[in-house]
Structure 1
Amino acid sequence: MMPDKLGIIAGGGGLPRHLAEKCRLERRPVFLVLLEEQADVGLANDFPSALLRIGAAGKIVKTMKSQKVVDLVFAGHVLKPTYTQLRPDLWSTSFLLKNKVFNSGDNRLLSALIKALEDEGFNVVGADDLDPNLLCEEACITKYSPNSAFIKDINTGISAAMDLGSKDIGQAVVCSGGEIIAREDRSGTDALLAKLPSSQSFGGVLIKCAKPGQERRVDLPSIGPDTITALSRAGLSGIAVSAGEALVLERAKTIAAADSAGIFIIGVNTSYLNQSIHE
């Protein structure tokens, strides 16, 4: 029996291609909506797709229905436009007026969007539902591991990241020497790391946690090769992510890059901050 057709709403990064290629290997029909100025348009050369702007949600819904899509997944990072840049169509305008979420945090906005898409008849799934191997396990997955000072930074950072997430502002913080030196805002982790001083080698840790009450089917914390490059540039020593709630994209390449740069990656349970500190 042929599996249900998967629709991928594709933003930036390698996750849309990873999921599309997985569908191909599993002989599952797939269709991609490539978000203009966000997605890799090269995907159109390899998979059935349509290039549509983010504000044309009505056309996205109509296209997915015409393609007989059953399951729907959001994949890849999306830079949130201003309202003027969005140029919302009738569907988008109705959605925003009904839910009043445009200026809300990402989790509230995306949770409302998932409900609206389910009301349209789609079954919205998470990237980890399609490939559980994307999730980071509760372990250090690199050659290098955190010492006791970095574990203290992780403990401090988890508490700060969870507080930030509870306000639906961001998922990540940077901690060094027991002090929070940077917090993610709605610009995202790339912008957070870009603001750090270049090559200062202050040995901090990036901590990324799922928000309390996070809608798991969209916007889970993720890291990949580009994250390692940004950490190395800023002189950070490692990354801690919430185990079972964070995606490691291009895992082999990410781990190899971290090992080469002397950077650790560890998946931790958020209850980790209550654990004892050991050498």
Structure 2
Amino acid sequence: MGRATALIAGRGALPAHLARALAASGVPFVIAQVEGFEMENPDRLPVETFALERLALLFDLLHERGVSRVVLAGAVTRPRLDPERIDPRTALLLPRILPMLGQGDDAALRAVVALIEEEGVEVVGAGAIAPDLLPAPGVLTEAQPGAADARDAVRAAEIVAALGAADLGQGAVVAQGLCLAVETLPGTDAMLAWVADVAGACRPDPKGARGVFFKAPKPGQDRRVDLPAIGPATVEAAARAGLAGIVIEAGGVLVLDRAETVARADALGLFLWVRPPCGSS
């Protein structure tokens, strides 16, 4: 039996995926869900819900359950804290947390990780729990990227690196060398929906390369937290946007429901390319 693990859960399917992996390995675990950011829970797993205004109570839960390892999994946008709900112990932490909330997602996450580690609990990435979520480099689909797609992927990677340096999004859409959209706070689904509705007419050559959606972590990002993820819904959204395929950075993007994701891509004629990071051999 492995080390007792806590999943600090936000929105999306990732927490349930990790819970299944832990259960299959016989590892005891607890799911602590952030209030207001409910995870997808098709297996009806038991969940403890905590409020960020009472963060100290989460630490009590970790110690009560003998937790020595934590994974942050799922989407949590920066919340509005209710001062009236803050308990005295959590109030002592606020001088460290509040300044970070105004500096961007990376700074806020670093602050949370530091507080957890000070409780003597190790913070690990999702890949440590379910390494199969991080596929090896290669094209996973029947459809293959062409030379124009490869050029668009390079351009998109450059754009995402520049966005990440400013602590913005982790994705971009490029077609025929032109950036059609970048990912911002509304997220991937909103970006791809906009491309589907508006940006299709921006391609200079209607018969040329249809474009790619590229996704990667931010440069210098702590890869234990907030790794980007794709899944079957991402493939469907990319298809609605008229794109040729999806390109993700190897080792930096989680693929949820991989078999179904690849099957959907094959059915829709899209490629899914796990591309080595720029500059790697």
Name the TM-score, length of structure 1 as normaliser.
Answer: 0.88
What is the rounded CA distance, in whole Å, between the counterparts of 2:250 and 2:137 in structure 1? 5
User: Do the aligned residues in 2 keep the contact of 1:5 with 1:30 (CA within 8 Å)?
Assistant: yes
What is the rounded CA distance, in whole Å, between the counterparts of 1:91 and 1:34 in structure 2? 20
What is the rounded CA distance, in whole Å, between the counterparts of 1:86 and 1:14 in structure 2? 32
- Residue 260 of structure 1 corresponds to 267
> By how many angstroms is 1:108 displaced?
2.0
Question: Equivalences for 1:138-217 in 2 at 5 Å?
Answer: 138-198=137-197, 200=200, 203-217=210-224
Change (3 A) 1:17 1:238: same
User: Do the aligned residues in 1 keep the contact of 2:96 with 2:111 (CA within 8 Å)?
Assistant: no
User: Do the aligned residues in 2 keep the contact of 1:173 with 1:182 (CA within 8 Å)?
Assistant: yes
Q: What is the percent sequence identity of the aligned residues?
A: 33
> By how many angstroms is 1:46 displaced?
2.9
Q: Does 1:34 align with 2:41?
A: no
- Residue 228 of structure 2 corresponds to 221
Change (3 A) 1:193 1:95: farther
- Residue 97 of structure 1 corresponds to 95
- Residue 62 of structure 1 corresponds to 60
Question: Gaps spanning 5+ residues in structure 2: where?
Answer: 204-209
- Residue 230 of structure 1 corresponds to 237
Code of the aligned partner of 1:136: P
What is the rounded CA distance, in whole Å, between the counterparts of 1:204 and 1:86 in structure 2? 49
Q: Does 1:77 align with 2:84?
A: no
Code of the aligned partner of 1:51: T
User: Do the aligned residues in 2 keep the contact of 1:79 with 1:187 (CA within 8 Å)?
Assistant: no
Q: Does 1:106 align with 2:110?
A: no
Change (3 A) 1:147 1:116: same
Q: Does 1:249 align with 2:256?
A: yes
Change (3 A) 1:160 1:88: farther
Deviates more, 1:78-87 or 1:247-256: 78-87
- Residue 50 of structure 2 corresponds to 52
What is the rounded CA distance, in whole Å, between the counterparts of 1:188 and 1:35 in structure 2? 19
What is the rounded CA distance, in whole Å, between the counterparts of 1:207 and 1:109 in structure 2? 25
> By how many angstroms is 1:45 displaced?
3.2
Name the TM-score, length of structure 2 as normaliser.
Answer: 0.87
User: Do the aligned residues in 2 keep the contact of 1:232 with 1:261 (CA within 8 Å)?
Assistant: yes
What is the rounded CA distance, in whole Å, between the counterparts of 1:253 and 1:79 in structure 2? 27
